[in-house]
Amino acid sequence: LRMFSISGSGAINVDLQTDAALQVDISDALSERDKVKFTVHTKSSLPNFKQNEFSVVRQHEEFIWLHDSFVENEDYAGYIIPPAPPRPDFDASREKLQKLGEGEGSMTKEEFTKMKQELEAYVDLITTFCCLCFF
């Protein structure tokens, strides 16, 4: 895979077949009022990290913030930043999310799988490019 710089300063070759120095997966999603929180597990062999493995809880808005931070950072001007993961349609499922928050309902496996895949795909794209790994 090649990523080209729009500014014309060259290209970065990235081999997607090698072991990733930064691996991210999302293990679960929990509802809290009208928001869904995801548990994000990270494993890394990069020297910039204090720990090799850690977990954090993140909301969808934080993935949007990450995307916007790359787009707005002049150091990445000219690079093609992957699009932000799509927003879940909370308006269509507000009643369901309320029930989740009250412990009366649950997210279907299909809904969780779709949200998980979209977020993991976005994070995988971001972590694939070495120029973004050290943000």
Question: What's the sign of the alpha-carbon dihedral 54, 55, 56, 62?
Answer: positive
> Mean pLDDT by 10-residue block, N- to C-terminus, for the chain (135 residues)?
38 46 83 80 86 92 91 88 78 54 59 84 79 50
Angle of the 60-72 helix axis to the 109-128 helix axis, nearest 10: 20
CA angle at 52 for the pair 47 and 56, rounded to the nearest 5°: 115
Residue 2, pLDDT score: 35
Residue 4, pLDDT score: 34
Counting every residue written for the chain, the total comes to 135
Residue 20, pLDDT score: 65
Residue 56, pLDDT score: 93
In the chain, what are the domains?
A: 19-130 (3.30.1520.10)
DSSP 75: G
Who contacts 75 (Cβ-Cβ below 8 Å, separation ≥6)?
Answer: none
Residue 126, pLDDT score: 84
Who contacts 45 (Cβ-Cβ below 8 Å, separation ≥6)?
Answer: 21, 52
